Homo-oligomer: A and B are copies of this chain.
Amino acid sequence: MSRIRPLSGFPELLPSQRVVEQYVLDRLRTTFELHGFANIETRAVEPMAQLARKGEIDKEIYVLRRLSADPASADGDDLGLHFDLTVPFARYVLENAGHLAFPFRRYQIQKVWRGERPQEGRYREFTQADIDIVGENVLAAHHDVEVPLVMLEALEALHAAVGLPPVLMRVNNRQLAEGFYRGLDIEDTGAVLQRVDKLEKIGPEAVVETLGEIGLTGERAAKVVDLARIRTDDESFVDQVRSLGVQHELLDQGLELLSAVVAAARQSVPGRLVADLSIARGLDYYTGTVYETQLVGYESMGSISSGGRYDSLASDGKQTYPGVGISLGVSRMLVPLLAKGRLVASRSVPTAVLVAVTDESTRDDADAVARSLRARGIPTEVAPKADKFGKQIRHADRRGIPYVWFGGADGEVKDIRSGDQVAATASSWEPPAEDRTVRVTGSWA
């Protein structure tokens, strides 16, 4: 066998790390389902014609070829691996529109692939968890408020359960900026947005300079930068924008919607969301509210959860499907935390009880004890070998299994952490609830 080495950009987890990931995914699922999001999975591949529509990303696509395909004849398929869950979801909506009830609320937790040069925090294969609400021709503005709150509630549940650092979601609205720019008689609003997006990286003076390059100078450039520097955790941003003295109908709409988001978040997840008028989000398809999210204390990770409103996620020529969605970069968030040992599982296996085997002739008795425990939902395995008991206890210890059972149905059970050993009956003994399943805890010292 050729030499085995990890592939850069394709993170894999050890069993005890996977326990943590599974726990996080289960929690996300619970929150999403509590809010009525239905799960779907889409195939890993899309026709290249679909994938290549998003110009800015097409260099990162993995293209597929059947090994046995005749290179001279096009195989007809021409498929690539999806690089996000939005493009496949848009295609799924169009393909199944007749079978879906709109507004359609879905969550989707899958791997995506990007064939980019690996670097710190960038992966070639990673897991995303997306929620979106998509309407048929129309989608009410209150969903722009709802979607970020659901994601914040999911992250807050993890914060409460395992001490995942709190998050800060920064929200803006493209209509707000668009209206403000138009109120300043700026025509190429996209070019301005692109430059303002660099504010955090290069600072206000440098942004003013780059605005000058496209002919925007003086008071107008200053107001553009002043707008982008507004950041409040309540609705006071509205007054700050108003004080800049710019008027436009789109600006009014944007202010109203962003206020609604901030007000709702203050009520249900206080301290976790701010209006930040510097947030632009690069992707063309966003048309209204935009979100991005940092893990407090881990800002260098970049945004772990981003999204926004898109007025035309998909269109088949007759109907359009506006949507609003937000995506959580599960691997982006978890892989560094797991590598640092910040989130740990109480054991590397589901097993709560190891049934010891006295000698191979009594393995059947041990199997019967295990069946009896499993029948009441207690994860149990039987020792693989009738070794000396000390060795069987070490077998449990190495895996973090808390209990070892000795003897038959009326036997004894030892808590190998405390050493306590008590008489027990297989048909009725119960481990404490906290030992029944693997626990995940945070270590944020």
Contacts and interface: CB of A to CB of B under 8 A. Distances in A.
Contacts of A385: 140
A57 to B, nearest CB: 10
A422 interface: no
Nearest to A107: B350
B113 A34 contact: no
Interface in A1-55: 1-2, 4-7, 10-15, 18-19, 22, 33-45, 47, 49-50, 53
Contacts of A91: 4
Interface string A239-273: 00000000000000000000000001000100000
B67 A62 contact: yes
A125 B4 contact: no
A379 B62 CA distance: 38
Contact of A39 (B4, B22, B81, B378): B22
Contacts of A95: 4-6
Contact of A35 (B61, B96, B113, B379): B379
A66 to B, nearest CB: 4
A60 B65 contact: no
Nearest to A97: B4
B18 A40 contact: yes
A129 to B, nearest CB: 15
A143 interface: yes
A92 to B, nearest CB: 7
A380 B18 contact: no
Given A115-B66, A350-B33, A13 B41 contact: yes
A59 interface: yes
Chain A interface mostly: mixed
A200 B417 CA distance: 55
B64 A59 contact: no
Copies, count: 2
Contacts of A33: 350, 379
A185 to B, nearest CB: 35
Contacts of A49: 2
Contact of A68 (B53, B115, B315): B115
Contact-size category for A: 35 or more
Interface stretch (A98-106, A176-184, A186-194): A98-106
A113 B44 contact: yes
Contact of A67 (B60, B68, B96, B103): B60
A44 B125 contact: yes
Contact of A44 (B44, B268, B374, B377): B44
Contacts of A68: 59-60, 115
Chain A to chain B: the 5 pairs with minimum beta-carbon distance, closest first:
A36-B381, A66-B115, A59-B68, A36-B351, A33-B350
Given A4-B94, A33-B350, A103-B384, 4 more contacts: A7-B77, A10-B45, A15-B39, A22-B39
Interface of A: 1-2, 4-7, 10-15, 18-19, 22, 33-45, 47, 49-50, 53, 58-69, 77, 79-81, 91-92, 94-96, 99-101, 103, 105-106, 111, 113, 115, 125, 135, 140, 142-143, 264, 268, 314-316, 348-351, 363, 367, 371, 374, 377-381, 384-385, 395, 398-399
